[in-house]
Amino acid sequence: MTSHNRNTPVFSCEFFPPKTDVGMEKLMAVQRHLQKNIQPAFFSVTFGAGGSTRDRTLETVNHLLANGATDVAPHISCVGSSKSEIKALLDTYISKGIRRLVTLRGDIPQDSQAAGDFAHASELIDFIREDSGDHFHIEVAAYPEYHPESATPESDFENFTQKVKAGANSAITQYFYNIDAYLRFVEKCEQVSLGIPVVPGIMPITNFASLTRFSDTCGAEIPRWIRKQLEAFQDDTASLQRFGCDVVSELCTRLLEQGAPGMHFYSLNQAEATLAIWQRLKSV
């Protein structure tokens, strides 16, 4: 398994499970394209809250393994799940040779009481470590601009440290466009000697409406100078994407210069935007 080393950044790409066979076929082509160019250390596959994509996540993991992916890391979220359901999933992943998990609480569905055996991601990590020791490399979520439900910045950071104490090996951040928020978060981790890599999550900018909608719910700020410019492009998608590529490539370059241990690309199941950023990084 690829581990983090200060001098060699580790890159990874995230997918969500497609809903149709055609979507799956397209995703496998995207994976091959990304694999050939970026050679990511792993591909991760998201998991719908409450297990809503449980079967499709597993199916996507199977397809990626059969498609020659270097390493695959399923996301696993615990909201609304029982211990026996999680145990069954862990057993399945162990039987498939999976060694890395992105371990989350998940978003609580609005129409559900989210009854289940776990309240927070740290409890899921405790359970995984109890169940399968050190079999899995555990990735967790980090929020440089704070999780939207957090009571205070201090308690949010304290809750993050709980996940590390429970046994997380590394973290991937929510996406951000304010580099200072990330650098400050990393500094706080260093101050308390957390000792795990915090990999920036990178969201390419390709669509104004979906980016703003998602950013409002997940608590990632789009700085005014970016939002205003994106808004001004209106239907001029080519200019918007060119500007988006400039902004995100510059962010990535600065992050690497500042010692970021890698990048996790939220590919949205598309190769082009991630590869455009990648090409720019390579040419720096």
Report the catalytic residues.
14
The residue from 27, 28, 86, 104 that contacts ligand FAD (CB under 6 A) is: 104
191 φ/ψ angles, rounded to the nearest 5 degrees: -60, -35
The residue from 59, 85, 107, 272 that contacts ligand FAD (CB under 6 A) is: 107
Q: Tell whether residue 102 is a contact of ligand FAD (CB under 6 A).
A: yes
Concatenated DSSP letters of 19-55 = SSHHHHHHHHHHHHHHHHHH--SEEEE---GGGTTHH
Q: Tell whether residue 174 is a contact of ligand FAD (CB under 6 A).
A: yes
Going 237 to 239 to 244 to 249, the CA torsion angle's sign is positive
Q: Which x/- pattern, by CB under 6 A, does the window 122-141 give for ligand FAD?
A: x------------------x
Q: Tell whether residue 49 is a contact of ligand FAD (CB under 6 A).
A: yes
Q: Tell whether residue 205 is a contact of ligand FAD (CB under 6 A).
A: no
**Least Å from the CB of residue 228 to ligand FAD:** 26
Residues forming beta bridges with residue 201, ordered by sequence position: 264
In terms of Cβ atoms closer than 10 Å to its own Cβ (0-12, 13-18, 19+), residue 54 is: buried
Q: Tell whether residue 159 is a contact of ligand FAD (CB under 6 A).
A: yes
Q: Tell whether residue 91 is a contact of ligand FAD (CB under 6 A).
A: no
The residue from 120, 129, 188, 280 that contacts ligand FAD (CB under 6 A) is: 120
The residue from 4, 147, 188, 280 that contacts ligand FAD (CB under 6 A) is: 147
Map the footprint of ligand FAD across residues 69-88, applying CB under 6 A.
Answer: 75, 77
Q: Tell whether residue 105 is a contact of ligand FAD (CB under 6 A).
A: yes
User: Based on CB atoms, which residue is closest to ligand FAD, 2 or 150?
Assistant: 150
Instruction: Encode 213-282 in three state secondary structure.
Output: HHHHHHCCCCCHHHHHHHHHHCCCHHHHHHHHHHHHHHHHHHHHHCCCCEEEEECCCCCHHHHHHHHHHH
Number of residues near ligand FAD (by CB under 6 A): 24
What gap in Å lies between CA 137 and CA 7, rounded to an integer? 20
253 φ/ψ angles, rounded to the nearest 5 degrees: -60, -45
Q: What is the DSSP letter of 5?
A: B
Applying CB under 6 A, the residues found at the interface with ligand FAD are: 46-47, 49, 75, 77, 102, 104-107, 120-122, 141, 147, 149-150, 156, 159, 162-163, 172, 174, 201
